[in-house]
Amino acid sequence: MRVPDWMTLMRNTGLSDNDRDIIKYDYPFDTREQMHRMLTKLCERFGTEDALCKLLNGLQQMNLTHIYENLLNELLSKNIRIVEDEGKCIYLVKNAEQNV
């Protein structure tokens, strides 16, 4: 994923401009570390489950379907499913039985 796309995704997840700017300032030449720190901050801000929902919704909003589906499949492989309302993730269910 290109960096401008990443910044848009983080904005779509609800990570504040201030949080993003601080991380970019702290790690100006290390894009991977910026991404890692932003994901960590997102989890700290909203909790892991809500952060995952926000990430999934951000990916959908940007039409990054292939990444969305990869993340969704990874969650399903760990028996975690998403509960949606109007096509948006609202919460996760752990140890969920898969209904196929």
Residue 15 lies in a domain: yes
Question: Which residues are within 8 A (CB) of 13 and not within 5 positions of it... i.e. 6 or more apart?
Answer: 42, 51, 54, 55, 57, 58
Residue 74 lies in a domain: yes
Residue 99 lies in a domain: no
> Percent of the chain, pLDDT > 90?
87
Q: What is the CATH number of the domain that holds 65?
A: 1.10.533.10
List the domain range (segments joined by +) for residue 86. Answer: 3-94
14-41, pLDDT tens digit by residue? 999 999 999 999 999 999 999 999 999 9
CA 11 to chain CA centroid, nearest Å: 11
The CA distance from 73 to 87, in Å, is 16
- Prediction pTM value: 0.86
